[in-house]
Structure 1
Amino acid sequence: MDFYQLLKLFGKIKSPRIRLFGLYVMHTARRRYLGIYLDPVFSCNFRCKMCYFSDDEKRKEMHGTLSEQDMEKIAKALFHRALKLQIGCGAEPSLYKNLAGIVRLGKQYNIPYISLTTNGNLLTKERLYELAEAGLNEITLSTHGIYKETYEYLMTNGKHELFLQLLNNLKELKKKYPEFKIRINYTMNEDNTEELKDFWKVFEDIPLDILQLRPVQEIGNSEYQNFSLQKISELLDSVVTPLVEECKQRGIICMAPEQNNLETLEQDAPDKDKTFEELTYCYVSANACWNEDFDYHTETFESYCRRKRMGLYILRKLFSKTGGKLDKNKNVTRKMNYSVK
């Protein structure tokens, strides 16, 4: 399955009503449409300055690990309706001992696309090959700097040399598993955006498939507090756009903001597709599983949807006056809109 072509196609559908209608058809036809975002362990070996793990008080609240027994129960309840499984969402998944076991479990339930989001410093060559052999489709590496100084300043506890070694290991892995996808997620701020002009000095020989450039957003009481997008906006034409164009020439999918995306963030505009997102987004950790009133020990996706009359709920949203758009007065978490190139 070409997940990113689906994402690109979906991005062309601007009408919330059409999106909800498509979702209703998939729901009634019992097709896969869930995106499952899984944190098997709620901890991190880094203290990235833009992340809530840099907050000592917040970090005290963040703990918990899913047992293998609970993982099997969650898989039985939800995995058969998953279009994508992303392992690693708000924490570092490589701290989980049986990471490859989760991938194998996902493949057992025929999930079409399984991705791992990680800082990568704990992934040895042996673990990488184990994950690929288990069926992992993609690895997403989070990085906040091109240069060693910036990388290690913003990614506290991170070692740039381990990151470079991981890139070399992935280059070798790609020779054996050519369909395996390598993705970089780069969070931009006023201190690291300009050095993107030297992106290819590090990644020239890496068979990169996807690059995501994501402007910084406030997520908790993080150590880094400069959330201004002004410099990013000023560097769009001179730094970001040339990088996007070079990616296009190299056949690399690039997800990057355009000026209107930055303006939307600055204005704190509501997310027009929040209803769709709430219906398709499924977060799982040791402390949460999908919706608050869902019990994976006793329910399945189907039994829960029958109990909640989910099909009728989607129809009501579809034919409501707002047509799936969010009430402007509703308080929501800001989401970033990207152009997929």
Structure 2
Amino acid sequence: MLPDTRKFEVLRISILSHCNFACVYCAPKEKENPSSRHAHTHSLGPNQLDKNLHLLKAHIKIKEVHLTGGEPTLHKNLIELIQIVKKHNIQEIALTSNGHFQSELLKEMVSTGLTRINFSLDSMSQSVFERLSDRKIPVSHVLNQIKSAKQLGLKVKINTTVLRGLNDQEVLKLLSWCGEEGIPIRFLEFMKMGPLHEEHPSYFYSAEEIRNQILTKYRFQNYPTPPDSTAQYYITNEGYIFGMIANHTEPFCSGCNRLRMDSRGRIYGCLSDETSFEIPDTFDEIQNTLEKAMLTKKKEFTGSELSMKYIGG
């Protein structure tokens, strides 16, 4: 029995540690430290994923596997990885992406077993999008990918990290676009993690500020939210659904059911703790390791200097 009222049910896997964007809150080039123990890129191999899932499933009931990165669509074996997760009878297979990939890949992922995709979309303004991502990529391409994913029958969500002075004035525009497309959007408080760990107060924009901004145009009420959800959901009078992921001001750690695996195959119990564990081969040792991972879970989010691209955003 794991020593906590909480239990691991969702496995988030950072299948690789690199990305084709250099977002200011995750991997700004001027903040990258080549001497860091996490600086070298890694990719999770199909055999290791298969082995780790087999070992973990003997101890925990995994109801969802969420593939993250880095940018998971860069993984050369992505389709095979999805097939492996499907083979282990995982009902919900999700992926988070920045949307910058070939359109044909969407169809492949759906036919292989992907059930949900979350797109990171921090701006609809081309200039702000370029500033945030440090890439000259048409934001229209990402918007078209989002529409295509919905048309293919995938469950789609949008994640927007709101940073003061950068994209905080785009909240209403993003909500309106997503609402008209019938896609839920989740606004994230900027988490005290990674390269901007020390500068966090300068960029932080709270969930209350976001809600107050939405109230200038929309009226909304609470929307049914699962107890283990990281977001608190709302619905406007127009039927637009949005959520708030407020790690700092409205922590939800008490309901966290997530276990994380990095691109080296090591597992983490908590975003706010850099302690990682290798998955052992024997039954008793695995149980002991999972108990240790559970003990790293915090009562509330405290942040970490580890970038999200290494532990899975």
| TM-score (normalised: structure 1) | 0.66
Which residue of structure 2 lines up, in the alignment, with residue 217 of structure 1?
191
Q: Distance in 2 between matches of 1:240 and 1:288?
A: 44
* Structure 1 residue identity aligned to 2:195: N
The percentage of aligned residue pairs carrying the same residue is 18
Q: Distance in 2 between matches of 1:231 and 1:325?
A: 21
Structure 2 residue 144 is matched with structure 1 residue 168: yes
Helix, strand or coil: the match of 1:103? helix
Q: 1:48-90 CA distances to partner (integer Å, 9 max, x unpaired)?
A: 111135322158614111222212212222256312111115x
Which residue of structure 1 lines up, in the alignment, with residue 62 of structure 2?
82
Label 1:199 to 1:224 Cα distance change in 2 as closer, same or farther (>3 A).
Answer: farther
Q: Which residue among 120, 133, 144 is the counterpart of 2:111?
A: 133
Q: Which residue among 137, 155, 168 is the counterpart of 1:193?
A: 168
Q: Are 2:11 and 2:64, in contact at CA under 8 Å, matched by a contact in 1?
A: yes
* Structure 2 residue identity aligned to 1:50: Y
Q: Are 2:13 and 2:261, in contact at CA under 8 Å, matched by a contact in 1?
A: yes
Which residue of structure 1 lines up, in the alignment, with residue 223 of structure 2?
none
Structure 2 residue 118 is matched with structure 1 residue 109: no
Q: Distance in 1 between matches of 2:218 and 2:136?
A: 25
Structure 2 residue 37 is matched with structure 1 residue 37: no
* Structure 2 residue identity aligned to 1:153: R
Q: 1:94-125 CA distances to partner (integer Å, 9 max, x unpaired)?
A: 11012122222111112121111111112x22
Q: Which residue among 95, 120, 127 is the counterpart of 2:74?
A: 95
Q: Give the number of the structure whose alpha-carbon radius of gyration is greater.
A: 1
Which residue of structure 1 lines up, in the alignment, with residue 286 of structure 2?
304
Which residue of structure 2 lines up, in the alignment, with residue 121 of structure 1?
100
Structure 2 residue 279 is matched with structure 1 residue 295: yes
Q: 1:135-190 CA distances to partner (integer Å, 9 max, x unpaired)?
A: 1111111122121111110111251x2x423432443443342xx21111100111
Q: Which residue among 218, 233, 238 is the counterpart of 2:213?
A: 238
Label 1:169 to 1:287 Cα distance change in 2 as closer, same or farther (>3 A).
Answer: closer
Label 1:243 to 1:157 Cα distance change in 2 as closer, same or farther (>3 A).
Answer: farther
Structure 2 residue 134 is matched with structure 1 residue 146: no
Aligned residue pair count: 274
* Structure 1 residue identity aligned to 2:279: D
Which residue of structure 2 lines up, in the alignment, with residue 281 of structure 1?
258
User: How is 1:177-192 mapped onto 2 (pairs within 5 angstroms)?
Assistant: 177=153, 180-191=154-165, 192=167
Structure 2 residue 112 is matched with structure 1 residue 155: no
Using the TM superposition, name which of 141-150 and 45-54 deviates more: 45-54
Which structure shows the higher helix fraction?
1
Q: Which residue among 39, 56, 79 is the counterpart of 2:32?
A: 56
Q: Distance in 1 between matches of 2:152 and 2:253?
A: 42
Label 1:36 to 1:287 Cα distance change in 2 as closer, same or farther (>3 A).
Answer: same
Helix, strand or coil: the match of 1:82? coil
Q: Distance in 1 between matches of 2:5 and 2:111?
A: 38
Helix, strand or coil: the match of 1:87? strand
Which residue of structure 1 lines up, in the alignment, with residue 303 of structure 2?
333
Helix, strand or coil: the match of 1:167? helix
Which residue of structure 2 lines up, in the alignment, with residue 256 of structure 1?
244
| TM-score (normalised: structure 2) | 0.72
